[in-house]
Amino acid sequence: MLKVILGIETSCDDTAAAVVVEGKLRANVVASQQALHNRYGGVVPELASRDHQRRIVPVVRQALEEAQLKPTDIDAVAVTYGPGLVGSLLVGLSFAKAFALGLGRPLIGVNHLEGHMYSVFLEPPSPPFPYLCLVVSGGHTQLVRVEAGFQHEVLGRTRDDAAGEAFDKVARLLGLGYPGGPKIDQLAQKGNPAFVHFPRPRLEGYDFSFSGLKTAVLYYLNQLSEAERSHLLKYHLADLCAAFQQAVVEVLIDALRRAVEATGIQHVAIVGGVSANSGLRAAAEALSRTLNFQLYIPPIAYCMDNAAMIAITGYYKAQAGLESPLTLSAEPTLAV
Ligand code: KG4
Ligand code: ZN
């Protein structure tokens, strides 16, 4: 039985390692590269992979120290192999393969999106199967019906920008820096969402589209004179953020409401970076009371990219005998 799992995550701009022992989190280390990419307004892939290379060994070492374990105590190594930036993925994957090969332990490849989907199993309460899972991150937005462990059906996904990407792009338009989601969220809490009405794109089924919303914000800013624009950014920035955030939240909540009504599933999880959004959390809680379903949103540390979710997914994969060959390659466009 594989009890002690080292999880490694380097798919984007966080170098992370975690240890799960018999399904319980024992250590969780994340080294964020945010400061490195901040001034470029987004993640620079080449800088990201170089930084992962610098940090991967100390981050893993720290996770082992926090778990009070030696490398030889590890039973299996779980690692994100996609989706993500190829140069970033390769650092974690190469490290994990070397670690597994050196110690003669199995390698377990984990899909980053599955990691988000199973992040709800890190801490109780966790949902029973089946549950609906809204994955909202910087790279992905999808609504998934999770039938059982490693069996799921994607009900809908974004056709263009992910929800987090829309937050980041709009934040950039407003000069708020990267990543913009938390900044918009903070400002939105003080703003009036009725200040301006942005469109709520609704597609067939459960698919999403957020690029039009971002463009609507751009057009709104562009039709103003220079003076109007600086007045707006000075006095109504919070209102603008609130209006934009409410549009995103309403689109997500509308899909969730329809999916709960259509499937009758009583357990709903919201995971990924955007699940940290206060407006989304409040609206989801209100919906759960109206439709009488159980809502599961992980603590913020497990919403953002982390290796704890990779380690816990790896743990369940190990119990199911789902190991990977050492020839496993990075898959930047891996889907679930
Ligand atoms: O899951 P995550 O850490 O990385 C990916 O897998 O993409 O998500 C990062 C995304 C970023 O786009 C960030 O702006 C967004 O999550 N985000 C938020 C909030 N906190 C993070 N978006 C809206 N409100 C927040 N409070
Ligand atoms: Zn993620």
Half-sphere exposure of 69 (CA within 13 A, CB side): 19
pLDDT for residue 257 = 98
Tell me: the pLDDT tens digits for 132-161? 999 999 999 999 999 999 999 999 999 999
Tell me which ligand sits closest to the C-alpha of residue 139. 1
The DSSP result for 238-273, as a single string, is: HHHHHHHHHHHHHHHHHHHHHHHHHH---EEEEESG
- Angle between helix 163-173 and 181-188 (nearest 10): 70
Tell me, what DSSP letter sits at residue 158? B
pTM (two decimals) = 0.95
- Residue 34: predicted pLDDT: 86
pLDDT given for residue 1 in this prediction: 85
Centre of ligand 1 from the C-alpha of residue 56, in Å: 22
Would you call the peptide bond into 325 cis, given omega within 30 degrees of 0 as the criterion?
A: no
Collect the ranges in the chain with pLDDT lower than 50.
none
Residue 179 near ligand 1, beta carbon < 6 Å: yes
Per-residue model confidence (pLDDT) at position 43: 87
DSSP string of 312-325, one letter each residue? HHHHHHHHTT--B-
Identify which ligand lies nearest to the alpha carbon of 276: 1
Residue 38's pLDDT is 83
Q: Identify the pLDDT of residue 102.
A: 98
pLDDT of residue 129: 98
Asked if residue 318 lies in contact with residue 76, where contact means CB atoms within 8 angstroms, the answer is yes
* Interval between CA 54 and ligand 2 midpoint (Å): 21
Q: Please report the pLDDT score of residue 309 as a whole number.
A: 98
The string of pLDDT tens digits covering residues 34-66 is 888 888 878 899 999 999 999 999 999 999 999
CA of 161, nearest ligand number: 1
pLDDT attached to residue 39: 81
Atom index in ligand 1 nearest the CA of residue 272 equals 1
- Supply the pLDDT for residue 202: 86
CB 78 within 8 A of CB 311: yes
Check residue 98 and give its pLDDT: 98
Measure 276 CA to ligand 2 centroid, in angstroms.
12
Cα 116 to middle of ligand 2, angstroms: 6
